[in-house]
Structure 1
Amino acid sequence: MKTINMRIITLSVFLVLYISLLQAQDSTQIVIFPDQLHELRSGSFVKNSLDRSKYFTTMGTLTGTRYTDSQWEIMKPTRSLGPHLSKIDKNYEDDELIKDKVKEVTQNQISFLQEGFKSNQDFKWAIAGISRTYPSWMRKSGDVYDAVKNEYFELAALQVNAWLDELELNNVPLPTWYTVQNEPKQSWDITDIGEFHKVMANAIQKKHKDVQVFGPCWAWTFPGKDLVVWQKFYADFISATQNALSGYDLHTYSKGYWAYDSINYKGNRNNMTKKQNHPSLFKGMYNGNSAVYDFGTLESQLNMVQAVQNTLYGGGPKPIIISEYGRQSISPQFGPWENDFKFFLYMTTVIRQMMLYMDQPEVQLAVPFILSHSDFGYAPNRGQAVYNLENDPNNKKHSITPFLQFYEYFKDVKGERLYYEEKTTQKTFSNYEVLRDGQFIYLVAHYGKTIGEFSLNLDVTLDGLDTDNITGMGIKRLKWEGEYPEPHNNKNFDGNLVIDSEYQSLTTLNNIIIDGEETVIIKIETESSIKPTSKVLEEAFYANGYLNKVPKNTPHNVQFNLTEAPKNAQRCFVDIGLSMKEGMKDSPAFNFNGQYLGKILDYQHTRGITYYNAVERVELPVSLLRQGKNTLILTFGENVSDNDIYVVSAKLIIQTKQ
């Protein structure tokens, strides 16, 4: 009997351990302060509410010709390509002749825009030049077929200005953001492309001051070995433009390599050594995937761009737009997608990146690569589209994809930002937004860890709010239930995409379980709208210096210059961008303004990330802040990493209560 009991106990322990290994659980608490507003500030950029028009967008233009219903208010097409001026032949090289020719070749384009914008005069939109914006005789050939020849820089600017003139004459709102070239070829000489952007920016802004000129929106600029890609395509490019651009345009696609076929859409053979055995990007970054932006590298890139700008030119940060982002290496590239799981994969990356952009004051626009509708002649059944249309320009019949539900799911996400704090003992790789809209408080939470292997136990606390003042609580979920397809194009499997259209009632805000890669929206209704009593301001200050390789055991100085002594500062953080293969095995030592703080960086979550490049936030003693120079000294000991160590950027965050 004793032996049997011991076996039962042993078996029970084994089962508990086995279940815990199958699905590990994180725990966290979100404390919301309903009467405290939250403002994020960086230089002249401020975010204290959520402007839906910056994030809930689609690819396309308001041409008004093929739209099928009134849903566009929750997902307006905001970014397009053009203008198409390639029909201008070399006989019109003369300045005055080319203006007349622009009018002729864009007549149809302008009429489409007139129709779309006639009831949207205040709508902000973005457009990026393409190879067809510049006639072939202006451009080089071969690998850089989109590169404008240096002798035609001025003429190319004149051409685009003539098109902007036509928009004005025809009562079409000018684009808020004009990007000089969409995804230029990386073989284009950096000095030349920088000069081209400078000429275009100076010419356009001289004549059309309300049009902001951006660049470079390169494709596939992951950091690269020794960060050489970021050095060339951002630091060197920003230097070459000589501060002429209004701001910077980025394309930020992660690559999955799970739904990845041996032959790509062009008929070329893919490098199958990159293929992943699991769909999770979180798991992939620990398994050799160098193309994951979602869990830190994206924030590192955004901060790096501002660090370069600050170091080279000063004067504060510049605006950023993300004119394309999403998830690539989901086969087939142009669709159709065989199952809803592929839509789910794309949605998870869009959610993670979108929620980061919401928290970046400098980001003025973020457009996921989700087409408002598939294009005639160009992937009529594309996966990344809200509507799939018939491959016939005169046929408006359409089918709906899960992306319509995706946009509808977030329709309540708006309002003023509320201050909140996450209290946890470990990094959960989660994203949060807390908003107040009248008497409703919304918490948006996304848990990024591996689907099917992790879950998050979330407790929500409303500080200072009596439970009697809460009149209702509900939750909506966007998640995957059941098994995922194996292989990726399987149509018959026991799993489905869940996107709740209505809130399910909650009886408590404790022990809310969120599965891996799930997104929830928690809605809390109060008896009446709560009046704010204070505001928590978080202000960012960038240090000079970027992409620095740091020798081990050698103090690395980072300096922040504060023109004024911080008043009413209650907390202080530093956001350090770090890069090294395989992550950290130990914390660097911190010294701030002469006081040794020790090894205070939580590094455990970085261990084993193959191409670790991320931003880590470390709290510093607020009492050590001073007016003028504030010096942070980092020392990386031998045990931190066996590989080269880089400090990508540094940003001081000062939190004050007003």
Structure 2
Amino acid sequence: MLEKYAVAGSGSRQLRTQNGIGTQRQISRSKIAGPCTAWGHPKGDWKRWTHSGWERKYIETAGDVLGAYDFHLYSKEYWAYSKESPSFDQKKKLPTPNLYEGLKNGNPYIWDFGKAEAYLDLVYAHHQATWSAPSLPVIISEFGRQGITPQKGPRAGDYLYYLYGTTVTRMWMNFMDRPEVQLTVPFILPWGDAGYARQRGQALYTRPEDPADPSVIATPLLGFYKFFQGLDGERVVCEWQQLTEAERQGLYAIAVRKGDELQILLHNALPRSLDLNLDAGIPEARIARMRWEGAVPQEYTQKTNGRWRMDFQALEKVDPSALTLAAEEVAIVQFPLVTEKPSKKMVSERFYSNQTLVDIYQQDAELTISIPDAAGDAVLVPSISAPKGFVAGTVLTVGVNGYTNSVDLGYTEGIVDLFAPVHFELPVGVLKSGDNTFTFILETPGFKWNAKIATLRADLQGQE
């Protein structure tokens, strides 16, 4: 379990890992969280969020009495999928376990690549619009990867554990970037009881096949937790440059500082290796890697001589200006610093429009964000929603205060029930203090596309 604590008012955050859940001993501090829904609604029809849709109504009805919002988010795969799976449909089976490729091949139940971010933006914005207050804290009390069915666990080798770990990592890193997310709990049980987790494979310990044998055997997920145990510190700003929007979907980075050490947690979710330049002004670093090495199973029940590599210490020296990450690799890069205290601190603040699910296919969409102090760099993050992804040549243009910028949405082609953030970097000085009205224009080749601007967020950075 990775707990994340937000420092109120500063925009900075701390990360730390711990195995355990703190309990509150005073009844007066107990609070209710909900709705604990197993599937936040990802469909393009938005039935749960329009008119009398129950997710919308839940916020409007209970948002002033809850202590927190609580969600369960699971990505679903169709590679480890067979006639043994419930409601098996051969047409849904995919040839690859890589969820980034699955997303582009019509699998709507993938939260890893922006959908979780967009969904939590929607919750935040609608709570703000309803209650004129920031969102409640958020708990993700279950999340993980479904569809490895039947969950063979250790009998299918370590590859299924590895796949589960990649999804947990991506979701964790998404949640780390959410100031309102206070607690996350991946669906990884302590040990596997006969007939349940032992077969599902999502446990730290599993039992032998012999029902009479009460002993437990450690699974690779124990090492998976251990890999993150040294990640600790105060968040610092890091940002990618020269990334396409498609690469941004599949490349993750979280930087933390503790004393005289800088750590960057990286994940490449793409189905290919990437060459990266980590420009920290430091010529040498050490790296701990977690990735699959060796032969990859062609079927989910196949065992190979491949292994799930986990480095529990960063011993490998690397040139950070020429770093290569393998497909679906996770890495922690450690940099030595010359001083224990930073020369300056950056503050990140988020602002949301109260308008949600604004149609853009029949006319231009206008949304407004009020910003008390607009000094500093800014990234504008609209989330766009449509029943399916867009073809090449579909251009989304934003205009604000005389400035315009555009992005081609062709990278979303193949996605079903599209719901994803789009990023526009705004030059210093474009935004002003007070109300800023943004105009969005969707230009599509040949016909109008049924689409909505689901939410609009502005991320501002400045010195403390």
TM-score after normalising by structure 2: 0.90
Distance 1:505 1:301 in 2: 38
Distance 2:198 2:63 in 1: 42
Matched, 1:582 2:389: yes
Distance 1:379 1:447 in 2: 29
Q: Tell me the amino acid that sits aligned with residue 252 of structure 2.
A: N
Shift in alpha-carbon separation, 1:601–1:530, aligned structure 2, 3 A: farther
Report how many aligned residue pairs link the two structures. Answer: 454
Match 1:482 to one of 277, 281, 294? 294
Higher fraction of helix: 1
Aligned residue for 2:399?
591
Distance 1:641 1:307 in 2: 30
Matched, 1:240 2:61: yes
Distance 2:115 2:430 in 1: 30
Match 1:519 to one of 304, 315, 330? 330
Shift in alpha-carbon separation, 1:253–1:45, aligned structure 2, 3 A: farther
Give 1:297 shift.
0.8
Distance 2:105 2:369 in 1: 36
- State whether residues 41 and 538 of structure 1, in contact with CA within 8 Å, keep that contact through their aligned partners in structure 2: no
Distance 2:153 2:365 in 1: 49
- State whether residues 455 and 513 of structure 1, in contact with CA within 8 Å, keep that contact through their aligned partners in structure 2: yes
Question: Where does 1:616-655 land on structure 2 (aligned, <5 Å)?
Answer: 616-639=422-445, 642-655=448-461
Give 1:561 shift.
1.7
Distance 1:613 1:425 in 2: 20
- State whether residues 578 and 613 of structure 1, in contact with CA within 8 Å, keep that contact through their aligned partners in structure 2: yes
Match 1:473 to one of 265, 281, 285? 285
Q: Deviations over 1:515-543 (max 9, x none)?
A: 111111112234x5432121111100111
Distance 1:380 1:482 in 2: 26
- State whether residues 12 and 348 of structure 2, in contact with CA within 8 Å, keep that contact through their aligned partners in structure 1: no
Q: Give 3-state SS (helix, strand or coil) of 2:47's partner.
A: helix
Aligned residue for 1:558?
367
Give 1:320 shift.
0.6
Q: Give 3-state SS (helix, strand or coil) of 1:75's partner.
A: coil
Match 1:409 to one of 221, 224, 227? 227
- State whether residues 6 and 179 of structure 2, in contact with CA within 8 Å, keep that contact through their aligned partners in structure 1: yes
Aligned residue for 2:25?
173
Match 1:307 to one of 115, 120, 125? 125
Q: Deviations over 1:9-60 (max 9, x none)?
A: xxxxxxxxxxxxxxxxxxxxxxxxxxxxxxx989x576524332xxx4xxxx
Distance 1:407 1:288 in 2: 31
- State whether residues 579 and 612 of structure 1, in contact with CA within 8 Å, keep that contact through their aligned partners in structure 2: yes
Q: Tell me the amino acid that sits aligned with residue 19 of structure 2.
A: M
Give 1:273 shift.
2.3
Aligned residue for 2:170?
352
Question: Where does 1:10-29 land on structure 2 (aligned, <5 Å)?
Answer: none
- State whether residues 224 and 230 of structure 1, in contact with CA within 8 Å, keep that contact through their aligned partners in structure 2: no
Aligned residue for 1:18?
none
Shift in alpha-carbon separation, 1:412–1:385, aligned structure 2, 3 A: same
Give 1:555 shift.
2.4
Question: Where does 1:285-434 land on structure 2 (aligned, <5 Å)?
Answer: 285-333=103-151, 335-375=153-193, 378-389=196-207, 397-427=215-245, 428=247, 429-434=250-255
Q: Give 3-state SS (helix, strand or coil) of 2:278's partner.
A: strand
Shift in alpha-carbon separation, 1:505–1:75, aligned structure 2, 3 A: same
Matched, 1:75 2:19: yes
Q: Tell me the amino acid that sits aligned with residue 577 of structure 1.
A: S
CA RMSD, Structure 1 to Structure 2 (Å): 2.7
Distance 1:216 1:337 in 2: 35
Give 1:425 shift.
3.9
Give 1:590 shift.
1.7
- State whether residues 67 and 137 of structure 2, in contact with CA within 8 Å, keep that contact through their aligned partners in structure 1: yes
Matched, 1:508 2:319: yes
Q: Give 3-state SS (helix, strand or coil) of 1:422's partner.
A: coil
- State whether residues 383 and 422 of structure 2, in contact with CA within 8 Å, keep that contact through their aligned partners in structure 1: yes
Distance 2:418 2:196 in 1: 37
Question: Where does 1:66-215 land on structure 2 (aligned, <5 Å)?
Answer: 74-76=18-20, 78=21, 123-124=22-23, 173=25, 208-215=27-34
Shift in alpha-carbon separation, 1:508–1:378, aligned structure 2, 3 A: closer
Q: Tell me the amino acid that sits aligned with residue 355 of structure 2.
A: G
Shift in alpha-carbon separation, 1:462–1:388, aligned structure 2, 3 A: same
Task: Answer with 1 or 2: which has the greater Rg.
Answer: 1
Q: Give 3-state SS (helix, strand or coil) of 2:291's partner.
A: strand
Give 1:624 shift.
3.1
Q: Tell me the amino acid that sits aligned with residue 364 of structure 2.
A: P
- State whether residues 41 and 540 of structure 1, in contact with CA within 8 Å, keep that contact through their aligned partners in structure 2: no
Aligned residue for 1:32?
none
Shift in alpha-carbon separation, 1:629–1:280, aligned structure 2, 3 A: same
Aligned residue for 1:68?
none
Give 1:601 shift.
2.7
Match 1:225 to one of 41, 44, 47? 44
Give 1:400 shift.
0.4
Q: Tell me the amino acid that sits aligned with residue 301 of structure 1.
A: Y
Shift in alpha-carbon separation, 1:475–1:647, aligned structure 2, 3 A: same
Matched, 1:572 2:384: no
- State whether residues 364 and 440 of structure 2, in contact with CA within 8 Å, keep that contact through their aligned partners in structure 1: yes
- State whether residues 592 and 630 of structure 1, in contact with CA within 8 Å, keep that contact through their aligned partners in structure 2: yes
Match 1:541 to one of 339, 342, 351? 351
Distance 1:635 1:656 in 2: 29
Q: Give 3-state SS (helix, strand or coil) of 1:648's partner.
A: strand
- State whether residues 139 and 183 of structure 2, in contact with CA within 8 Å, keep that contact through their aligned partners in structure 1: yes
- State whether residues 45 and 362 of structure 1, in contact with CA within 8 Å, keep that contact through their aligned partners in structure 2: no
- State whether residues 435 and 443 of structure 1, in contact with CA within 8 Å, keep that contact through their aligned partners in structure 2: yes
Shift in alpha-carbon separation, 1:478–1:271, aligned structure 2, 3 A: same
- State whether residues 11 and 347 of structure 2, in contact with CA within 8 Å, keep that contact through their aligned partners in structure 1: no
Distance 1:604 1:45 in 2: 38
Aligned residue for 1:13?
none
- State whether residues 388 and 399 of structure 1, in contact with CA within 8 Å, keep that contact through their aligned partners in structure 2: yes
Q: Deviations over 1:544-603 (max 9, x none)?
A: 122233234x221111123x333xx2211211010121235332222213x141x42353
Shift in alpha-carbon separation, 1:318–1:610, aligned structure 2, 3 A: same
Q: Give 3-state SS (helix, strand or coil) of 1:565's partner.
A: coil
- State whether residues 106 and 414 of structure 2, in contact with CA within 8 Å, keep that contact through their aligned partners in structure 1: no
- State whether residues 6 and 14 of structure 2, in contact with CA within 8 Å, keep that contact through their aligned partners in structure 1: no
Shift in alpha-carbon separation, 1:398–1:641, aligned structure 2, 3 A: farther
Give 1:455 shift.
1.0
Aligned residue for 1:147?
none
Q: Deviations over 1:195-214 (max 9, x none)?
A: xxxxxxxxxxxxx4311211
- State whether residues 285 and 609 of structure 1, in contact with CA within 8 Å, keep that contact through their aligned partners in structure 2: yes
State percent identity of aligned pairs: 30
Shift in alpha-carbon separation, 1:348–1:47, aligned structure 2, 3 A: farther
Give 1:242 shift.
5.4
Q: Deviations over 1:621-641 (max 9, x none)?
A: 431322321111112224397
- State whether residues 366 and 438 of structure 2, in contact with CA within 8 Å, keep that contact through their aligned partners in structure 1: yes
Distance 1:225 1:250 in 2: 19
Aligned residue for 1:191?
none
Q: Give 3-state SS (helix, strand or coil) of 2:422's partner.
A: strand
Q: Give 3-state SS (helix, strand or coil) of 1:546's partner.
A: coil
- State whether residues 347 and 461 of structure 2, in contact with CA within 8 Å, keep that contact through their aligned partners in structure 1: yes
Shift in alpha-carbon separation, 1:640–1:543, aligned structure 2, 3 A: farther
